[in-house]
Amino acid sequence: MPNVSFHDLSQIDAASRAALMRRSETDLSGFMEKAVPIIEAVRTEGDAALVRFARDFDKADLDATRLKVSPAEFDAAFGMVDEDVVAAIRFGIDNIRHFHEEQKPEAMWLKEMRPGAYAGDRFTPIRSVVLYVPRGKGAFPSVTMMTAVPAVVAGVPELAIITPPAPDGSVDAATLVAARIAGVETIYKCGGAQAVAAVAYGTETIRPALKIVGPGSPWVVAAKRLLAGVIDPGLPAGPSEAIILADDSVHGGLAALDLLIEAEHGPDSSAYLVTHSRRVAEEALAALPEHWARMTEQRVAFSTAVLTGACGGIVLTASIEESYRFINDYAPEHLEILSNDPFAHLGHITEAAEILMGPHTPVSIGNFGLGPNAVLPTSRWARTCGPLSVTDFVKRSSIGYVTAAAYPEFARHARTLARYEGFSSHEHAVSDVRDRYLVR
pLDDT in tens, 180-206: 999 999 999 999 999 999 999 999 999
The proportion of the chain whose per-residue pLDDT surpasses 90, expressed as a percent, equals: 92
- One-letter amino acid at 318 equals A
158 a catalytic residue: no
Point out the catalytic residue in the list 334, 345, 354, 427: 334
C-alpha to C-alpha distance for 120 and 134, rounded to whole angstroms? 38
Closest CA to 397 of 104, 125, 116: 125
The model's confidence at residue 61, banded by pLDDT at 50, 70 and 90, is confident
pLDDT reported for residue 410: 97
Look at residue 1 and tell me whether its pLDDT is greater than 80. Answer: no
Query: 56: how many CB neighbours lie within 10 A of its CB?
Result: 11
In angstroms, the Cα distances linking 270 to 12, 44, 265, 302 are 19, 36, 9, 11
Residue 109 pLDDT: 97
Q: What is the pLDDT of residues 331-370, one digit of tens each?
A: 999 999 999 999 999 999 999 999 999 999 999 999 998 9
3-state secondary structure of 268: coil
Q: Output the pLDDT for position 137.
A: 65
- Cα distances from 279 to residues 276, 282, 286, 289, in angstroms, run 9, 5, 11, 17
The answer to whether 162 touches 73, Cβ cutoff 8 Å, is no
Task: Say whether 9 sits in a helix, a strand or coil.
Answer: helix
Which tens digit of pLDDT belongs to each residue from 230-266? 999 999 887 899 999 999 999 999 999 999 999 999 9
pTM for the full predicted model: 0.91
Catalytic residue among 283, 333, 336, 427: 333
Dist CA 307 CA 270 (whole Å): 8
List of residues 6+ apart from 235 with CB closer than 8 A: 213, 375, 376, 377, 381, 385, 388, 392
Q: Residue 139 pLDDT > 90, yes or no?
A: no
C-beta separation of 171 from 143 below 8 A: no
pLDDT band at 141 (very low <50, low <70, confident <90, very high): very high
pLDDT-based confidence at residue 9 (cuts at 50, 70, 90): very high
- C-beta separation of 205 from 64 below 8 A: yes
Say what the pLDDT of residue 23 is: 83
pLDDT on residue 116? 97
Task: Please name the amino acid found at residue 299.
Answer: R
Residue 396, pLDDT score: 96
Q: What percent of the chain has pLDDT over 70?
A: 98
Establish whether 100 is a catalytic residue: no
